[in-house]
Amino acid sequence: MNVGIICYASVGGSGIIATELGKGLAARGHRVHILSADTPVRLTDYTPGLSFHRVETPTYPLFREPQYLLSLANKIVQVSRDERLDIVHAHYAIPHATAAYLARQILASTWRGTAPPAAPVPRTITTLHGTDITLLGGDPTYKETVAFCIEQSDGVTTVSESLKADTIRHLGVRSEIRVIPNFLDCSRYRRRDVGGLRARLAPAGQAVFIHVSNFRTVKRTPVVIEVFARVRAQVPATLLMVGDGPDMGEAVRLSRQLDVADDVAFLGVQEQVVPLLSVADGFILPSSQESFGLAALEALACEVPVVASRVGGLPEVIEDGVNGFLHATDDLDGMAASAVRLATDPARQAEMARAARRIVEERFSESRIVPLYEDYYEAVLRRAARGYTPS
């Protein structure tokens, strides 16, 4: 197949999964074209069969802001014609599903009345990742347009059953939605021997906890500090805060106010998180909402049990008491007690660490999930072949 993938280039989960999917499809012999405003963070080494197409967005005095939607739609048309794409796969609804719909209308208008077309109109698939539905999708400013463009897609997927339910509830989408979870390359995400790093980060043999996120409100980064302060009052421990974002300042201020600043290391954005995960005993994730929880999945793959909120798609990734602990969002004492248990019961921590790795390998490995997308593409194309009538 010849597949175009539209994604954001940032470190968010949607861009990471879209890029890794592209690499996985290329490795399976497909031709893949990634379209984005900038080079995605995971698109580093050359991958045979995979190419990148930059979406250039010029600025004109007439417009108040660059017209990314129009530039993207035009780029989809161009690449579809030049590369004869079979599939255009939009990751994140806003504005990618809209751009894919507009591009399809343009392409269809160039052959309407002839059969078959000189350049085929690709089928469009939209994958919903989270805040595009739970936050932006419910905004009246976007709601009807987003719902319409999703329903005009030839296929729709979400990364969790929770997000599927949210999509139906927030947008009233009636199209069939396939759940295909996020995934990892388990050969890349695995615990490594970095004993020297642990000795530097926890020289007195303290327990090591970690949090990785974009430090936005939904991640409740200051709450991570509050939970850790409760842990630190009971056991010697160190907290690694990996990432950056709007709540960084508040988290730093709170660590000082709660007198744990000396035990908290703010490490900023780190491209390589596996070494840091490899020294951790537990991951703290008290989010107010997680449609899936890719950071949690990365931790589990590195044998780090996760202490998290029981929200969104997290219960589909974390089995309470097996590979982590789930608590109500306001149960900070409970989260702290679970973290202390990981720090003080080495046998239980090791058992949960093994379970964490096993569950990722069995349910969320790249080798299992990429073929699900491949099969879905083929099903969409077979359905289209029975009656090629793009609108």
Instruction: Give the DSSP letter string of 262-314.
Output: GGEEEEE--S--HHHHTT-SEEEE--S--SS-HHHHHHHHTT--EEEES-TTG
Residue 391 belongs to some domain of the structure: no
Instruction: Give the DSSP letter string of 148-187.
Output: HHHHTSSEEEESSHHHHHHHHHHH---S-EEE----B-TT
Same domain, 248 and 262: yes
Q: Is the peptide bond before 95 cis (omega within 30 degrees of 0)?
A: yes
Same domain, 228 and 281: yes
Residue 36 belongs to some domain of the structure: yes
What's residue 391's pLDDT? 41
β-pairing, 264-268 vs 324-327, is: unpaired
Residue 52 belongs to some domain of the structure: yes
- Domains contained in the chain, number: 2
Q: Residue 167 is part of a domain; what is its CATH number?
A: 3.40.50.2000
Q: CB-side exposure of 146: number of CA atoms within 13 Å? A: 24
Helix (H, G, I), strand (E, B) or coil at 20: helix
Closest CA to 122 of 153, 94, 151, 85: 85
Q: What is the pTM of this model?
A: 0.91
Closest CA to 208 of 185, 176, 231, 183: 231
Same domain, 25 and 147: yes
Tokens of 83: 């590369």
Helix (H, G, I), strand (E, B) or coil at 190: coil
**Secondary structure letter of residue 123 according to DSSP:** E
Residue 373 CA: distances (Å) to CA of 179, 182, 195, 290, 367: 10, 11, 38, 22, 11
What's residue 137's pLDDT? 62
Residue 7 belongs to some domain of the structure: yes
Residue 189 belongs to some domain of the structure: no
Residue 390 belongs to some domain of the structure: no
Same domain, 45 and 165: yes
Domain residues for the domain of 159 are: 2-183+366-385
Same domain, 337 and 378: no
For Cα atoms 50, 129, 99, give the angle at the middle one, nearest 5 degrees.
65
What's residue 390's pLDDT? 43
**Structure-derived torsion over alpha carbons of residues 268, 272, 275, 277, reported in degrees to the nearest 10:** 70
**Is 185:216 a contact under the CB 8 Å cutoff?**
no
What's residue 313's pLDDT? 96
Same domain, 371 and 341: no
- Would you give per-residue pLDDT tens digits along the chain (391 residues)? 999 999 988 756 888 999 999 999 999 999 999 999 888 877 777 889 999 999 988 777 666 556 889 999 999 999 999 999 999 999 988 889 999 999 999 998 876 555 555 557 999 999 999 877 766 666 777 788 888 989 999 999 999 999 999 999 888 888 899 999 999 999 999 999 997 999 999 999 999 999 999 999 999 999 999 999 999 999 999 999 999 999 999 999 999 999 999 999 999 999 899 999 999 999 999 999 999 999 999 999 999 999 999 999 999 999 999 999 999 999 999 999 999 999 999 999 999 999 999 999 999 999 999 999 999 999 999 988 876 444 4
Same domain, 207 and 168: no
For Cα atoms 8, 95, 93, give the angle at the middle one, nearest 5 degrees.
80
Residue 190 belongs to some domain of the structure: no
Same domain, 118 and 16: yes
